[in-house]
């Protein structure tokens, strides 16, 4: 049994009617306050949609899986760059700039004479952020 909400158009009284979902009827009902008004069905919110055993996943699931896949790719490329840096430069504190060689997403080579450096953010900009 599910509760359905009705409201009188004349006196504004709320009426709650319990009916089986399979046989629920939503036609107007006489007001129980005897004002002579009619109680009309009130839609209380969006219906819930069950997605269990559906052949197509919901949009949120698809977007979430795509985002996970993209982040995995980003992290894999970061690991590949760090591996190349360790092989080329060992434990040096200077971080060398790399570029993709174009032969694959995980293939990198150093850019001669270039290094990666942190960007200094002025104090006044940090206070606003």
Every domain of the chain and the residues it spans: 2-41, 60-114
The model's confidence at residue 94, banded by pLDDT at 50, 70 and 90, is low
Rounded to whole angstroms, the Cα distance separating 108 from 95 reads 14
Mean residue pLDDT of the chain comes to 78
**Region 18-35 average pLDDT:** 85
pLDDT one-digit tens code per residue, 107-129: 777 777 776 677 777 887 766 55
- Short-list 29, 55, 56, CA closest to 40: 29
- Short-list 13, 50, 45, CA closest to 29: 13
Contact between residue 15 and residue 6 where contact means Cβ atoms under 8 Å apart: yes
pLDDT at position 105, please? Answer: 64
pLDDT at position 4, please? Answer: 85
pLDDT at position 115, please? Answer: 67
Q: CA geometry: angle at 13 spanning 8 and 19, to 5°?
A: 75
Assessment of whether the complete model's pTM goes beyond 0.85: no
Residue 95 in this model has a pLDDT that exceeds 70: no
Rounded to whole angstroms, the Cα distance separating 107 from 85 reads 12
- Short-list 27, 47, 51, CA closest to 39: 27
Q: Which of 19-23, 25-29, 38-42, 108-112 has the lowest mean pLDDT?
A: 108-112
**Region 67-80 average pLDDT:** 85
Residue 58 in this model has a pLDDT that exceeds 80: no
Residue 29 in this model has a pLDDT that exceeds 80: yes
Tell me phi and psi for residue 86, to 5 degrees. -65, -40
Contact between residue 39 and residue 10 where contact means Cβ atoms under 8 Å apart: no
DSSP H helices in 19-110 = 59-89
């Amino acid at each position: 049994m599910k509760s359905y909400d009705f409201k009188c158009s004349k006196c504004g009284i709320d009426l709650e009617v319990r009916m089986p979902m399979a046989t629920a009827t939503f036609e107007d009902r006489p007001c129980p306050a005897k004002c002579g008004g009619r109680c009309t069905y009130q839609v209380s919110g969006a219906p819930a949609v069950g997605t269990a055993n559906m052949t197509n996943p919901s949009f949120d699931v698809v977007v979430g899986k795509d985002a996970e896949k993209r982040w995995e790719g980003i992290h894999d490329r970061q690991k590949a760059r760090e591996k190349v840096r360790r092989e080329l430069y060992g434990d040096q504190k200077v971080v060398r700039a790399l570029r993709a060689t174009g032969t694959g997403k995980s293939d990198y080579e150093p850019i001669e004479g270039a290094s990666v450096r942190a960007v200094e953010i002025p104090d006044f900009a940090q206070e606003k952020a």
